Structure formats: C-alpha cells, structure tokens
Amino acid sequence: MKKRLLIAQVEPPQKLEGGDYFYRAYAPGIAMAQEKEVYVINLTNAHRKKFEIMAKADILILNSVCDPDLLPVIAKRKSEGMLTVYEIGDDFDALESWNPVYFFYKNKENLALVYRLANYCDAIQVTCQELKKCYGHLNINCEVFPNQILHVPSERPKKDAPNLVLGWAGSHGHMEDIAEIAGCLSNWIMTQPNVSLCLMCSEPIWNLFDSLPQEKKKHIKPGAIDNYYDFLSEVDIGIGPMKNTPYNRSRSDVKFLEYAVSGVVPVMQRLEPYIGSVDHGKTGFLYASPDELIEILNSLVNNPALLNEIATAARKYVLQKRLQLKHGKDRTAFYRKELSGLKRDHARIGQSTESFEEWSKLEGAVRNNRHLELKPTRFENLLHDGLVASQLGKDRELAKQFFEEASAIDPNNYLSFLYGYSVLSDPVMSLREALERNPDSLKAWILLGEELAKRGKIKEAFGCFNSAAMVCPQYEIPLLRAAFLLEKLGEKSQAENLYDKAAKLTIN
C-alpha cells in the first residue's frame, strides 16, 4: 500500500483567477488529490502559514517563486530528506517588456536567484521541452509536465448554420501577436458575409479592429477562466497568432487545448508550442504566414463538413490524451520516485497529513476532499496592496497604513515588517523587527546591511552580510555585498577574495 503524501504547491502572490494559476497549480492539485492517500495544498508565498506548511509537506513545489528566504527552508528540508521541486513555467531570460515581471527579472540578481533556487532544489519541473532545453542544465533531475485540461464543456451540436464566428482571446501582452494579422483578418472578414469576429481582450487590442463595422464584431472584456470558457462557447474557429520569439517558443500549447475541448476549430501559428500537438489537417491547422492563415480560413468557410470533422477530432484528442485527471499520477509517480531516493526515515512520510484537517479550518480555506486551497485573507491582501502602493510610487502613507494594519492582524509575522521597511517610519527598526520574528530571513539581513551602509555604519553592515552568509553559505549575494564594502574601504585583497568565492557560487 502506498504511503500517504502531503504535497504543498506554493505560488508567487498573484490573482488566483488567472490561467497560469489554474493550469499550473489548481488543476494539477485537483488531479493529484484524486489519488488515494494524496493530500494537496495550494497557497501563495505570502500566506501567513507558509513556513509551517512548507516544513511539514512531504513534497514542496515552488512554482517560479523568487525569494531568497526559501533557501534556508530548502536546506532544512534537505537535511530531513524531504523533497523540494522548483517549477519554471516561462523563459525568464527572454521576457518581453509587456510582461508584469519584466523589470523584476531585468535585475540580474533576481534572475540569478531563480537559477540558484532551481539548482538547490532536488528537482525541477517545466511545462514543455523547449523550457527543458533552456533550463534543464540547472538540475540533473528535470521533468516535463505539459499543461492539461481539467474543465470539459458539454459537447456542442454540429455546425450547420451558415454564420461562423472567428475568435481569439488574450491579455494585453499579446498586442504584437494579434497586431501582425489584424489588418489582413479585418479585410478578409469584410469579404465574408457570414463571418464575424469575437474578441476577449483589452481596449487597445480591440481598437486594432476599428475598420470592422459594429455588426461584424463583438467585444468581451477579459475575465476569469470560467468567463473565458463561456466566451469559447460562442466561437467556431479559434486563431492562435504568435510572433516567433524565444519567449513565445517556450510557452504552453494550452490555447490549442482550450479551443479543441470546446469544439472550436484551432488554427494556430506554426511554432514550437503547437507543432508537437496539432496534427495539421486532422486536429487543427498550422499556418506560417498571414496568406496561409487566410487560405485555411477560406477552406473552412467553404466546407462545413471539414469544419465539423476537425472540431470533432480535436476534441477527441484532448479527451483521450490531454485530460488533467488522467495525468495526476504522472506527477505523483515522479515525486514518489525522487522521494524514495532521499535519506529519510520513511516511516515519517505522510504523518503530517494530520495537520491537513487543522489547516482546512483556517480563514480562506476552500476544501475539496483531499485538495485544499488557502486563498488570500485580509492579511495577505494588505501585504499585496502595500507592495503595489509602494513599488508603483503611489501614496507612501497609504502603503504604510496597509503594512501597519497587516502587522496588527498578525504581529508575529515578519512579512509586514520586511515588505514595508521602505515606507515605515524607521527602515532599520522595521528590518530588525522582521529578523526578530525570522532570524533566517536572508532578504532582511541583506536589506538591513544595505540600509546601515547608507548611514555609514560599515562595521554593522558588514556584520549583517556575514550573518546572511552564515544562514546560507551557498548564496553569493551576501558575499558580493560584503566585498563591495571592503573595496570601498580600500581592502582590495580581501574584497577580491570574496568576489572569487561569490564567482564560484554563481550559476549561469
């Protein structure tokens, strides 16, 4: 009999209604929890119970979380024979400027921290082979878990009416993708009396189709994943334009899957995310140029039988090969195999599932049998709002109020002091408060050292960087900060020593 497993999936603080969370955390969590004796918890890295849960989980999945304070957590788990896996779902080294985290990862230290975390974990997992090519070198254990479909809409009746709806949905970041075909698509639709366009998109993308008369187009505002599937129920042919960029080539094929399972004929860009999934002419179509796209659309409009044939075959492919509930065991089998190779008292595996009942009673907990979502509460939302207000240059006083209220809700949690140090009355005092609550916070030690250095307290600053290095000797940033201070003091030989040590730790 298989032992019980407690799996914790930790996300960056984010909206939990989006597609990334749905496909990479929620859906796999639901699928894994279908397996007997497997318990799954989904939470964000800002959740007040995160350290308690991460300490007890047999399997910890860190989904693209970039936080140095996780390094001591991973180290402790290693010493206790508990499995930690890092997930990379995007090509962080090729992010485009529209991406919300573009400027965060433009900072090379943040990118290096992702490499450090991925390398330090016991294994990494990615969404596609292209990402394995890019990042597989970071860890000898690298597994590909493609996105799968959890929600299966009812089968649609065959299309026999002459009117067809062409559809596309995407975030504002896809502006350049859709802009490449907006002109030719608008011109083609104007020549087709029975074809209209339906878009779920931002206003600027919608404006690309200004030349189309109102009766030939419909605009739906972006929404949650359920709203997106409602949108797909109105569409007959779905297009997947995508510029040929390194970032796009490392993306998931999930748009094809969403079209296919919804009975929508997929017409996708002939690029890596789709080449291995779409069987051209059978489960969808691949196009390489605007002219080829129009040629495919003409063939579908002029042949309703082909339209129905492709839609049926595409849906059948998803139902047979790409349902998440059929692939949950792919993950648990990999985790069990990796866990079995670690030095651990295996009699302890699964014991922590007793805490699952306790966590199920927490505020914000949404339980579905052995699957548990710990949704953000007032505390986590205040942290998020405080960060947004302070980082975007909004009212610092408002940000301060958010962090102070968060601290009042949970005075023992270090995050309100760490996140709010720059807007609270005394940054140094705030960071010391954070360290009093979490002495292993690498982030707090480094920030405190930087603040003290600004005030000319070099000896104290050096001590902070040294403390950070003692918490995690494998992390190069404290060494670099200390070396910089020594260099300023004219201690070139000692500085070079530390620079050399840091260079040996750096992962490329």
Last residue of a domain, one of 297, 321, 345: 321
In a domain, 381, yes or no: no
Residue 393: its pLDDT value, please? 62
List 124's β-bridge partners, or say none. Answer: 86, 142
* Per-residue pLDDT, 354: 79
Phi-psi region of 64 (alpha: psi -120 to 50; beta: other; left: phi over 0): left
Q: Is residue 46 part of a domain?
A: yes
Which residues contact residue 239 at a Cβ distance below 8 angstroms, ignoring those fewer than 6 apart? 166, 167, 168, 181, 185, 267, 268, 293
Q: Assess whether 43 and 28 both reside in one domain.
A: yes
For residue 483, give both structure tokens. 């070396």
In a domain, 29, yes or no: yes
- pLDDT value, residue 308: 93
pLDDT number for residue 346: 62
Quote the distance between the C-alpha of residue 307 and its chain's center: 34
Residue 430 lies in a domain: no
Cα–Cα–Cα angle for 274, 251, 145, rounded to 5 degrees: 90
Here the tokens at position 16 are 């939990």
Strand order in the sheet with 285-287: 217-220, 195-200, 164-169, 237-240, 265-269, 285-287
Q: Would residue 413 count as lying in a domain?
A: no
**What is the domain count for the chain?**
3
Among the three residues 277, 298, 321, which one is the final residue of a domain in this structure? 321
Q: Are 217 and 197 in contact (CB under 8 A)?
A: yes
Mean pLDDT, 10 residues at a time, the chain of 508 residues: 88 78 94 96 95 96 96 95 96 86 89 95 96 95 96 86 89 88 95 95 94 95 89 95 92 96 97 94 96 96 92 97 96 95 71 86 96 95 90 80 96 96 92 97 97 94 95 94 89 89 86
Cα 70 to Cα 357: distance, rounded to the nearest angstrom: 25
CATH code of the domain in which 328 resides: 3.40.50.2000
Residue 223's pLDDT is 85
138 and 209 both lie in a single domain = no
- Same domain as 173, residue 97: no
Q: Is 241 helix (H, G, I), strand (E, B) or coil?
A: coil
37 with 136, same domain?
A: yes
Helical spans, DSSP H, in 212-366 = 225-232, 246-249, 254-261, 272-275, 290-301, 304-321, 328-340, 354-359
* Parent domain of 343: 5-150+324-376
